Structure 1
């Protein structure tokens, strides 16, 4: 890949990876697995901006096609163009610990499951992040966002305990979301209805934490949503902007 041209984003916005046909199978399985394994290490340790793309190519490791092989190499090309950028934490930046939660409804073309993404920041940089396909199909954008909020809340509660051990503070953690309907559902501002009563009980975990004032939800405009890059493929200029929101400079 030394002489390859670098890419502006980690995955083209028009690409929707699907299960390969029998004649589209990659024969270099070992090489593909080694590449994806290396990308997973980078995504989990230092580069949250590639988490979504790596999550997608990882889901096809047992049955990769040439499109998946090309997508994995594109991530390398993107890293080549941004290899001098890194997670940066600044002493004078906001020292509050807070998070963003987002979801992309029906993202997966094979299963129509949505993708959840969250990121927690402190001192101008990301300290915890995740991009993962949801375990069940969401019937609406509100449900997908609500399920993503539940996942982010579980992570937030772990960090709340950790921060209490470090500093002895027990303030409610701020969790920001760009979907008002999901926030209203979590805060019980809207009651159960035919559209929400089917949601799995475990996702209502967030309601309990909000009622106990351990988590505080806040609506944020979509253009300020830092977790957007963790849920979908976005154009190069926007990816550059969203990468900086994560503290990658």
Structure 2
């Protein structure tokens, strides 16, 4: 579990499914666990590399971040913490971009995916060979 939480998010979904059978595992579960270990052994030189771009599928939220005024009649209810994010964007500490829902890489953490889509999202998660 440590690997999926701290260093290897690409195995999160597989581990969450497998962990449901910790107390009553079968041969199939053992084979699935071995497959995860084989995947990890084949990608030992992968690690997280962080980027500053934040993607959203909510165009309205992105539009609010672009507005120069902090106070607006329709946005008075927004928490002060929102303004911190807006300052990060203003100072170029974070970049925001629109991305459609079907291209959201967070799916690799929550949904079963085809092998091709999984490998594509692993690249987009910034898991890269570290050259160890």
Same fold per TM (> 0.5)?
yes
Q: Aligned residues, how many? A: 97
Note the C-alpha offset of 1:81.
1.3
Q: 1:74 to 1:220 in 2, by over 3 A?
A: same
Partner of 2:12: 51
Q: Give the TM-score normalised by structure 1.
A: 0.34
Which segments of structure 1 move beyond 3 Å, counting only runs of 4 or more? 96-100
Partner of 2:115: 236
Q: How does 1:147-226 map onto structure 2 within 5 Å?
A: 169-171=84-86, 220-222=100-102, 224-226=103-105
Q: 1:63 to 1:98 in 2, by over 3 A?
A: same
Q: 1:77 to 1:63 in 2, by over 3 A?
A: same
Note the C-alpha offset of 1:99.
5.9
SS state at 1:171 partner: helix
Q: CA RMSD in A?
A: 2.9
SS state at 1:233 partner: coil
* Unmatched segments (≥5 aa) in structure 2: 58-78, 88-97
Structure with more contact order per residue of length (Cα contacts < 8 Å, sep ≥ 6): 2
Partner of 2:65: none
Do the aligned partners of 2:55 and 2:99 also contact (CA within 8 Å) in 1? no
Partner of 2:43: 82
Q: Give the TM-score normalised by structure 2.
A: 0.60
Q: 1:58 to 1:99 in 2, by over 3 A?
A: farther
CA distance in 2, matches of 1:61, 1:99: 35
Do the aligned partners of 2:18 and 2:29 also contact (CA within 8 Å) in 1? yes
Partner of 2:106: 227
